[in-house]
């Protein structure tokens, strides 16, 4: 927490507007719009809810094809299933993010044109979005930026989430900013955001009584959690700098181990380094995970690609070249909590001992 969360929460309690709306919901949306230089935003209960509403406002439905990064968390994909659409998985390239070349191949070889692409900016690092935007525009495919992990990252000076048609942020407990749970949907298209706002409050029509002409969801963020978000947004740049310093520390202290390769930062981009992630050429990452666990230090494997998940076995088409499978097999997420170098040295010592 940044220090002002409790002050803002006290103001919410004094106002007696706890949920579902209130002044801090609007303030939170305004703070994100101002930071990202985007026109419209709606605060929601999660990034998954935001992705779901993004597909809904774009008219994605049963039988439609939706392209998506395979190397991601399943929250990026579940929303496709909610709409009865079919996910088409695209593998990574050397950036670890979605491959523009495999994207072009998928569009060329699929039996019908996909309606949308959900592009994940993995671990807070930007994908080759300039190339991906061009491909999507040439093929009239909507681009949804899954920036759940990438708030504060940028490409050519433009904030993550603002380059495609719609963008999504997460404020889950493990993200660079947190409201304990929450998300945000952003766009330059007013109609889409207003539609999402309407659907997020059970699609209630503007009458005194409760009238509904279509179905909606209970997806809005509360005034209390929005107050936390306002305080968190005030320290976003500081958080990004801290995360980047953690990465710099790890990369410097582990530079003498030749088999280690860190997730790259593509040209013209600036990641938020939400997590410091790496791969080992020879060492089994599970050996490192277990050794850290013995020291009461938590670490995690990289994401298991979606095309390998049992949920999608034999049902979803994939355009794969083995990149994400190799990353999953060799990779590790290091603890990236705070700029507490005494704690980080403990991690480094374990890795140096094993490698």
CATH number for position 125: 3.40.640.10
SS3 69: strand
| Structural domain count, the chain | 2
Identify whether residues 169 and 292 lie together within a single domain: no
Q: Looking at 7-138, which runs of residues are DSSP E strands? A: 40-44, 65-69, 86-90, 116-120
Q: Most confidently modeled of 206-210, 271-275, 313-317? A: 271-275
Of 180, 174, 160, the C-alpha closest to 333 is 174
Q: Give the 3-state secondary structure of 225-263.
A: HHHHHHHHHCCHHHHHHHHHHHHHHHHHHCCCCCCEEEC
Identify whether residues 34 and 61 lie together within a single domain: yes
Alpha-carbon torsion angle 247, 250, 256, 260, nearest 10: -70
Which residue segment(s) compose the domain that 304 sits in? 236-354
Boundary residue ending a domain (206, 233, 260) = 233
Name the band, by pLDDT with cuts 50, 70 and 90, for residue 342: confident
Q: Report the C-alpha gap between 154 and 160 in whole angstroms.
A: 5
Identify whether residues 203 and 100 lie together within a single domain: yes
Identify whether residues 209 and 250 lie together within a single domain: no
List, for residues 78-133, the tens digit of each pLDDT value. 999 999 999 999 999 999 999 999 999 999 999 999 999 999 999 999 999 999 99
Identify whether residues 341 and 201 lie together within a single domain: no
Identify whether residues 177 and 268 lie together within a single domain: no
Q: Is the backbone peptide bond immediately before 20 cis, with ω within 30 degrees of 0?
A: yes
Identify whether residues 68 and 194 lie together within a single domain: yes
Going 41 to 47 to 49 to 54, the CA torsion angle's sign is positive
Identify whether residues 265 and 288 lie together within a single domain: yes
Roughly how many angstroms between the first and final C-alpha of the chain, as a whole number?
35
Contact 79, 50 (CB under 8 A): no
Of 83, 77, 52, 50, the C-alpha closest to 220 is 50
Segment among 72-81, 129-138, 207-216 with least mean pLDDT: 207-216
Q: Report the C-alpha gap between 192 and 209 in whole angstroms.
A: 25
Boundary residue ending a domain (207, 233, 259) = 233
Identify whether residues 330 and 249 lie together within a single domain: yes
Boundary residue ending a domain (233, 255, 278) = 233
List, for residues 4-34, the tens digit of each pLDDT value. 999 999 999 999 988 778 999 999 999 999 9
Residue 53 in tokens: 């509403």
To the nearest whole number, what is the mean pLDDT of the chain?
96
Identify whether residues 259 and 189 lie together within a single domain: no
Identify whether residues 254 and 170 lie together within a single domain: no
Identify whether residues 250 and 203 lie together within a single domain: no
Alpha-carbon torsion angle 260, 263, 264, 270, nearest 10: -140
CATH of residue 272: 3.90.1150.10
Contact residues for 113 (Cβ-Cβ < 8 A; gap 6+):
65, 107, 139, 140, 141
Alpha-carbon torsion angle 35, 38, 42, 48, nearest 10: -90
Q: Report the C-alpha gap between 101 and 194 in whole angstroms.
A: 35
> Mean per-residue pLDDT for 208-229?
95
List, for residues 279-333, the tens digit of each pLDDT value. 999 999 999 999 999 999 999 999 999 999 999 988 889 999 999 999 999 999 9
Is 90 exceeded by the pLDDT of residue 218?
A: yes
């Amino acid at each position: 927490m940044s220090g002002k969360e409790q002050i803002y929460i006290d103001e919410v309690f004094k106002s007696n507007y706890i949920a579902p709306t209130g002044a801090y919901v609007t303030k939170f949306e305004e703070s994100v719009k101002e930071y990202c230089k985007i026109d419209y935003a709606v605060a929601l209960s999660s990034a998954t809810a935001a992705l779901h509403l993004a597909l809904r406002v774009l008219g994605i439905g049963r039988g439609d094809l939706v392209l998506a990064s395979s190397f991601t968390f399943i929250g990026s994909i579940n929303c496709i299933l909610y709409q009865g659409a079919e996910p088409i998985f695209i593998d990574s390239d050397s950036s670890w993010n979605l491959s523009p070349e495999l994207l072009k191949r998928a569009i060329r070889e699929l039996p019908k044109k996909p309606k949308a692409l959900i592009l994940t900016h993995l671990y807070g690092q930007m994908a080759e979005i300039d190339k991906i935007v061009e491909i999507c525009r040439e093929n009239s495919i909507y681009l949804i930026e899954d920036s759940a992990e990438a708030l504060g990252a940028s490409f050519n000076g433009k904030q993550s989430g603002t380059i495609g048609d719609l963008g999504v942020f997460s404020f889950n407990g493990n993200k660079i900013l947190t409201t304990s749970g929450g998300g945000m949907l952003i766009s330059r298209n007013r109609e889409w955001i207003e539609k999402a706002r309407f659907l997020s409050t059970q699609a209630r029509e503007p009458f005194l009584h409760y009238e509904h002409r279509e179905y909606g969801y209970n997806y809005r963020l509360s005034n209390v959690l929005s107050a936390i978000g306002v305080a968190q947004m005030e320290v976003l740049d500081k958080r990004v700098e801290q995360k980047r310093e953690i990465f710099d520390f790890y990369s410097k202290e582990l530079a003498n181990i030749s088999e280690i390769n860190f997730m790259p930062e593509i040209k013209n981009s600036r990641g938020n380094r939400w997590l410091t992630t790496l791969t080992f050429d020879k060492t089994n990452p599970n050996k490192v995970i277990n050794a850290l666990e013995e020291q009461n230090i938590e670490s995690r494997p990289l994401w298991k690609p979606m095309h390998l998940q049992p949920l999608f076995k034999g049902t979803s088409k994939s355009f794969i070249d083995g990149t994400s499978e190799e990353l999953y097999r060799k990779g590790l997420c290091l603890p990236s909590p705070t700029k507490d170098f005494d704690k980080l040295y403990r991690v480094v010592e374990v890795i140096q001992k094993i490698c």
